[in-house]
A and B are shown apart, each in its own frame.
Chain A
Amino acid sequence: MKKLRRKVYMVAGYNTISMGTGRKEFNPKKPRPGLEHYIKEAGQATLKKIGGAQNVDDCVIGNFMASRFNKQANLGAFFPMIDEGLRYKPGIAVEGACASGGLALMAGIKSILAETADVVLAVGFEVQNTVKAIYGADILAGAGWFMERKSGHAYFFPGKFSDRAGAYFEKYGRERTRKAMARWYRNAVENARLCPTAQEYNNTVKDLEAQGMMEPTPNSFVDHLNVFDCSKVSDGASAIAIVSEEGLKKIGIPSNETVEIMGFTHIQDDITKQPPEITALKTTNLAVKYALEIAGISINELATVETHDCFTIAGVMATEAIGFAKPGEGPDFILAGNTARDGKIPFNTTGGLIGWGHPTGATGVHQAVTVWEQLTGNAGAAQIQIPKDRSYALSVNMGGDDKTLVSIVYHRG
């Protein structure tokens, strides 16, 4: 694919709190706000920053499983609830498991490119704490092939990535990899402590790496992962505006307050097939490769990466899939400090899925919001330095076990 035929920007991002275990205000025994609350909070915040609903031409909402977590479908029709001004305007819902948020961005970008809209409101959300984790595991298993559910683990997706971790240990060595996974966890929580909306913002554990090294408990969980290796169960929403050059004029925001989309990819692998190689993320690798090609840059020009660390082992494998480390050398890359916030290439600067949280349908949008904050200097305490000669950012949003991939390259507008 060639370069984008029209300039596309993102601006006015907003994240709600990622609510769930870890947050001080979270009490599983008390009633909590529903999806309406989260959609409204994020949507209204973005609308406010772009001059209101009258500037919006099109809306898209990304969500994975409200149909089961909340018994709710027909999600596009929630846009008029955000703002009366969105009534009788278009609003679609998209789903691609944990890449639903990324797909919402895709749909918005395509509307801009198709010149059917100049301003698109993109929202992603998930409200998952409506059920206990053991039932949530059933719901999230929908990201895999249902024909595999019976033979799968009680915790289906942790089971999938536990199998990947086990194979990786066998092929490349357990100890080093386990240490890298614990380091990944530590980096995630340390970053989250700098971001007030992060689920692990209140985390005060002193020795995070020791905690991350806890031995797995196969009798009650999975063989090769402990709970700290897993992303959070979260309620939350994120929103961002996707805008053309004309759209920027309409909403009155200068381009240097935006990020420009330099390249993007959305690709799929066959959900009914096993991964070609269990110790590698092939679809991630291809999605990033294509996005970088479109942007015309190499990974050496990246200042930061937001990657889909649904499990620490997915973070380790992502460093290889993106191209920072050779197969089997991701653990060394991480243990050398390269992915930490003061490292060569800071990953997941507000905590990622493990530290910030993983309201599944929101995650893709949350990544874009974090990138927008970082590249425009709006990341607050979590702000990292963006070097002049390495000024691009990359996001990788994954649905299922490396099946649905959305990757985007950004630059300050």
Chain B
Amino acid sequence: MTYTERLENVSVLGAAGKMGSGILLLTAIEMADLSLKPENKDRLFVLNAVDISHKALGELMQFLKTQVRKIAEKKTVQLRKIYQEREDLIENEEIIDQYIFDVLNIVRPVTVLEATYESTLIFEAIIENPALKVKILTQIDRNNKKSPWFFTNTSSIPIHQLDESAELGGRIIGYHFYNPPAVQKLVELIQAKNTLPEIVEFANALAKNLRKKIVPSNDFAGFIGNGHFMRDALYGISEVQRLVNEMSFVEAVYTVNRISQDFLIRPMGIFQLIDYVGLDVCQYIMSVMNPHVQDEDLHSDLLDSFIKMGVKGGQYADGSQKDGFLKYEKGRPVGIYDADKKSYIPITEFQANIDEKLGPLPKSALSWKAIIGSSEKEEQLKVIFTELKTMKTVGSELAIRYGIRSKQIAEKLVSDNVAKTGEDVNTVLLTGFYHAYGPINAYFD
């Protein structure tokens, strides 16, 4: 089966979800672009968008339409060439509208699993629940006569476990996109020990066409991305629990969040990142990973208690941030949740005090935004962190501890054989988490 034939009938499970919708968008574009090639004009391309709610699928189609328009607007120069034989399409607007239709016309929004029984490729992006994943994959595989390939977007469940439990005979691979899939360049590729080599070959070809960067991860729960993030998050939480001896809880959350953002020059603080992913999602991923690790306990009582109180973070359907550890206005943190008072305390109430306690940023400091686009990034970071190390302030010491811990986590991923190299860990953090520098570095030594 050729690359194109493999993509003639595809299904995305959980298509209306945060990850599924992005995977659907990317796949729909790739399939539409194939369908528009003259040599494929007699082929029929079908992409089943499978989810449980008609309402969510309706919203998905609206999302797709908006996103495909943006993509079309960026590649109109190419689209004019693709549609050059179509004499009825003259203006950019007509060409863009046609392209939107051609992409959406491939997508079949459905709520029944039967639609997947004709597919040769199935993306799985449902909830991170091993038993449910196994159940659905098993059902599809038993009814689908085409021996489909399964690309699972799990971010934590070992692939061999899914392969064995669903009896897929190696027709599965971990294909872990980062959120949002249409934007983030990284795909973690996880082969189970039985994954068929032709699947790996196809997976690499697909990533190339989707303009994604592949980082191979070994088949250990959590892989590289969550392997680092979950431990980094637990460290942030443990720092809060240590700091509450000298300040209030909300002040400690503010402190650790600010240290991990402004002092470490990351795109967002650790608690904002937990909110972004969702407290419940983090809790779940840890619970999936925890049985597979021997020498540590990936679990947080604090997360459990917050989730119990209904503080969960995550995002609204329009992509805006729900309140979690932090409260947001126009996407910016303005308050921090106080578990005793069961309400958010405005940051402005204590910000000045704590900032003074932490001390200033290095004089040479730059924002993450300024660093990320800089051509002299490495040199600038070296200057900033060298200065940081000379400062001996509360803030600088917390930041250095944090940087060192992040490096330990990364090195352990290599020594535990989750990542093949330190470079791979750095790539995941750089491309999947938009960090300005990888955790394995000499800045904090």
- A-side residues, CB < 8 A to B, are 132, 134-135, 137-138, 141, 149-150, 153-155, 218-221
Say whether A134 contacts B76, CB under 8 Å.
yes
Q: What's the Cα separation between A219 and B73 when bound, in Å?
A: 13
Say whether B73 contacts A132, CB under 8 Å.
yes
Residues of A with C-beta under 8 A to B90: 149-150
Q: Provide 18 A-B residue pairs closer than 8 Å at the C-beta atoms, listed in order of the A residue.
A: A134-B73, A134-B76, A134-B92, A135-B92, A135-B93, A138-B91, A138-B92, A141-B91, A150-B87, A153-B77, A153-B80, A154-B76, A154-B77, A154-B79, A154-B92, A220-B74, A220-B77, A221-B77
Q: What's the Cα separation between A150 and B94 when bound, in Å?
A: 11
B96 contacts A by Cβ under 8 Å:
yes
Chain B 399-422 interface 0/1 with A at a Cβ cutoff of 8 Å (1 = within): 000000000000000000000000
Q: What's the Cα separation between A129 and B78 when bound, in Å?
A: 24
Most chain A beta-carbon neighbours within 10 Å: one of B76, B77, B92 = B92
- A contact patch SS: loop
Q: What's the Cα separation between A29 and B74 when bound, in Å?
A: 18
Q: What's the Cα separation between A339 and B75 when bound, in Å?
A: 37
Say whether A137 contacts B77, CB under 8 Å.
no
8 further contact pairs, Cβ within 8 A, besides A149-B90, A220-B77: A135-B93, A150-B87, A150-B90, A153-B77, A154-B92, A218-B77, A219-B77, A220-B74
The total number of A-B Cβ pairs within 8 Å is 31
Residues of B with C-beta under 8 A to A218: 77
Chain B 83-109 interface 0/1 with A at a Cβ cutoff of 8 Å (1 = within): 000010011110010000000000000
Say whether B92 contacts A137, CB under 8 Å.
yes
Residues of B with C-beta under 8 A to A153: 77, 80
- Number of B residues near A (Cβ < 8 Å) is 14
Say whether B93 contacts A154, CB under 8 Å.
no
Most chain A beta-carbon neighbours within 10 Å: one of B73, B75, B77, B96 = B77
Q: What's the Cα separation between A138 and B90 when bound, in Å?
A: 9
Q: What's the Cα separation between A373 and B188 when bound, in Å?
A: 62
Chain B 53-87 interface 0/1 with A at a Cβ cutoff of 8 Å (1 = within): 00000000000000000000111111110000001
Q: What's the Cα separation between A155 and B73 when bound, in Å?
A: 12
Q: What's the Cα separation between A132 and B79 when bound, in Å?
A: 17
Q: What's the Cα separation between A154 and B96 when bound, in Å?
A: 11
Residues of B with C-beta under 8 A to A141: 91
Say whether A134 contacts B96, CB under 8 Å.
yes
Q: How far is the CB of A215 from chain B (nearest CB, A)?
A: 16
Q: What's the Cα separation between A118 and B435 when bound, in Å?
A: 68
Q: What's the Cα separation between A138 and B92 when bound, in Å?
A: 6
Q: What's the Cα separation between A280 and B356 when bound, in Å?
A: 66
Residue from A132, A135, A154, A219 within 8 A of B80 (CB atoms): A154
Q: How far is the CB of A394 from chain B (nearest CB, A)?
A: 36
Q: What's the Cα separation between A220 and B96 when bound, in Å?
A: 15
Residues of B with C-beta under 8 A to A137: 92
Residues of A with C-beta under 8 A to B80: 153-154
Q: What's the Cα separation between A138 and B80 when bound, in Å?
A: 12
Closest residue of chain B to A146 (Cβ to Cβ) is B90
Q: How far is the CB of A339 from chain B (nearest CB, A)?
A: 32
Say whether B91 contacts A149, CB under 8 Å.
yes
Q: How far is the CB of A133 from chain B (nearest CB, A)?
A: 9
Closest residue of chain B to A132 (Cβ to Cβ) is B73
Q: What's the Cα separation between A134 and B77 when bound, in Å?
A: 10
User: Do A138 and B73 contact each other (CB < 8 Å), given the known contacts A150-B87, A219-B78?
Assistant: no
